A and B are shown apart, each in its own frame.
Chain A
Amino acid sequence: MLLNSFLLLAGLLFCIGVYGVLVRRNGIMVLMSVELILNSVNINLVAFGAFHGDVGGEVFALFVIAVAAAEVGIGLAIVLLMYRNRLTTDFAEADMLKG
């Protein structure tokens, strides 16, 4: 069973995603990075599901995929709204609220 390779790939994707969220200042790029984390979760879930011979992992992964789609829909709507009002998707420039 090659569980390790799947977990390593997922761990790598997770780290890239977290790095992207922390470093990128562009709304769209942060969204993409969050997607990377969610996909690392899916790999983990499916790999563990196969390892345990339990269908629960795959079902969980399906839920994650469906909910992530809804989440991204909302996120793009909010980023688009910001673009309409400010003509930028760079949220480093969104600095009206501070303190």
Chain B
Amino acid sequence: MIDLLAFARPPIDWHAAAPELTLLACGALLTLVDIVWLERAKAVSATLASFSLLAAMVPVVTLAVDGTDRAMFGGAYTVDDFSLVMKAVFLLTAYVVVLLSTDYIAKGDFWESEYYQMLLSAVLGMLVMTSARDLVTIFIALELLSIPAYLMATWHKVDLRSNEAGLKYYLMGVFASAVLLYGMSLLYGVSGSTMLSDINATISNSQAEGLLAVVVLGLIFVVVGFGFKVSAFPFHMWAPDAYEGAPTPVTAFLSVASKAAGFVALLSLVFVGFWDRSDVYQPLLWLLSAASMTGGNLMALRQTNAVRMLAYSGVAQAGYMLAPLAVAGESSATADDALSSVVTYLAIYAAMNLGAFAVIIAVARRTSSAEIDSYKGLFRYAPVLTVAMTVFLMALAGIPPFGGWFAKFEIVLALLSPGTAWGVVLGGVVGLNSVIALYYYARIASYMWVEAPPDNVQSSSPIKVPASVSAALILTGLVTLAFGIVPQWVGHFTDVSLL
């Protein structure tokens, strides 16, 4: 029998866990304030939530300044460059989402304090995900970030569309995590350990033991499970419905943070857990990437609603981000390029997509609609919003000098660097898809600039944009432009390595 009294607590590096602990403490404080002050707490909950996120940034910065890689629990929980960059991306994304939510949630009939508590717990899950290097930790982080997200998608309780969005998101989400778990159980069965580094060591020599079939099955299930999370084609069915029905700030959060969390998990799995099995994961991710780009773009072409269009464009963007992983196993130099390009893409995508959603939220205050037709003639009565939307759409399409071009450039560079036929072909698919995507991004832009406004819009008065949404627009716009115009200044932040 195990002697329970002989249990010794594993050493804990408090500095390494400080971002998560700060967020946890602030979330608990938010709950406490809500319980004690009841109605009066509503006024401060958004402010408190945004300060919590900024407070959690402080230890991330001190850890980055310190610069040493830290590992806890036998390497199951690691703090390195990669995890710190992604923690910063998640915290800033959540901060912008709080800015977008403040006015929207306060004006609608929503539960306010609870909304921010859910947001903070989802962000906590994302912070844990960046450091998780072990199957159990990855699974716990995934659920910690997903379960609040299901609730947030359903947050508009009396709206049938929000109910439906939440239900679809929930059912696909739990199905995906169940399939993912089955894959994890097979990988555990082959390796006898839940640590990613041990799994890598075992599955690379399993061909000799005749276990290749189990490894392949486990890998496929795990990649498919996260394929749902990042809404890669053909596992994207939930995304357009959930995005359209959910409250728009929640959609912004799901399409950026939740997707990025799926990518973080995929990255640590591929680079730490499956690295030596490139013969299995490369073809799988190649197919997933090519299908997502092409499928997402083709379906985005025929959308009439801006949020649905961004959902399908998000599927295509997921395809671009998966692309470098399809060549990552060629050499360790390629792997570093591939990882850096995906992290760069995630950071830029977060800025430009949040910016586009900020404009959609601002415009919907006037038109109460996200239909693409309602953007006609926007320039006549909201010139600043039109310019901002054009910047974000052109960034998403990858037109210089806005951030998106640098992201795509890095992706294509990583694809071409090993010089294999598969990489070159996938690079061609990326190029072709960028052209298709330009059409539907440019269509909205031309509606805004050229067409006359529809009759039901009083085009005389300008749209009143709340201060918090303006702040979000300025923040995301600056990041988008910084990555586009001076990538040499900001690009090194996302230059990371996992090997």
Contacts and interface: CB of A to CB of B under 8 A. Distances in A.
**Size band of the B side of the interface?**
35 or more
Contact of A91 (B167, B174, B192): B167
Given A85-B158, A99-B303, A94 B139 contact: no
Contacts of A51: 189
Contacts of B241: 97-98
Contacts of B179: 18, 37
Nearest to A22: B175
A67 B160 contact: no
Main secondary structure of the interface of A (DSSP, over half): helix
Contacts of B140: 63, 67
Interface residues of A, number: 46
A50 B192 CA distance: 10
B170 A75 contact: yes
Contacts of A86: 160, 163
Contacts, number: 129
B308 interface: yes
A17 B160 contact: no
B263 to A, nearest CB: 22
Most chain B C-beta atoms within 10 Å of own C-beta, residue among A48, A77, A85, A99: A99
Interface string A42-81: 0011011101101011011001100100110011011101
A60 B135 contact: yes
Interface string A20-38: 0100000100110010011
A74 B150 contact: yes
Contacts of B101: none
Given A41-B185, A96-B245, A70 B136 contact: no
Nearest to B194: A56
Interface in B36-76: none
B139 A81 contact: no
Contacts of A70: 143, 147
Interface string B195-232: 00000000000000000000000000000000000000
B161 interface: yes
A74 B188 contact: no
A29 to B, nearest CB: 11
A78 B245 CA distance: 14
A75 B171 CA distance: 8
B325 interface: no
Nearest to A37: B178
Nearest to A53: B192
Nearest to A70: B147
Given A54-B193, A97-B245, A99-B305, A85 B163 contact: yes
B409 to A, nearest CB: 33
A41 B154 contact: no
B358 interface: no
A38 to B, nearest CB: 5
Given A34-B174, A63-B139, A97 B181 contact: no
A57 B135 CA distance: 11
A7 B184 CA distance: 14
A89 B194 CA distance: 38
Nearest to B191: A52
B34 interface: no
Nearest to B164: A94
B175 A34 contact: yes
A48 B189 contact: yes
Nearest to B137: A63
Contacts of A60: 135-136, 139, 184-185, 188, 194
B163 A94 contact: yes
B246 to A, nearest CB: 10
B304 interface: yes
Nearest to A61: B185
A73 to B, nearest CB: 9
B240 interface: yes
A85 B160 contact: yes
A82 B163 contact: yes
Contact of A44 (B164, B185, B193, B305): B185
6 contacts: A40-B182, A48-B185, A56-B194, A60-B194, A63-B139, A77-B151
Given A18-B179, A37-B179, A85-B163, 4 more contacts: A41-B181, A71-B174, A96-B245, A97-B161
**Which 6 pairs, one residue from A and one from B, show the smallest C-beta to C-beta distance?**
A52-B192, A48-B189, A44-B185, A37-B178, A97-B241, A94-B164
Interface of B: 135-136, 139-140, 143, 147, 150-151, 154, 157-158, 160-161, 163-168, 170-171, 174-175, 177-179, 181-182, 184-186, 188-189, 192-194, 240-241, 244-245, 303-305, 308
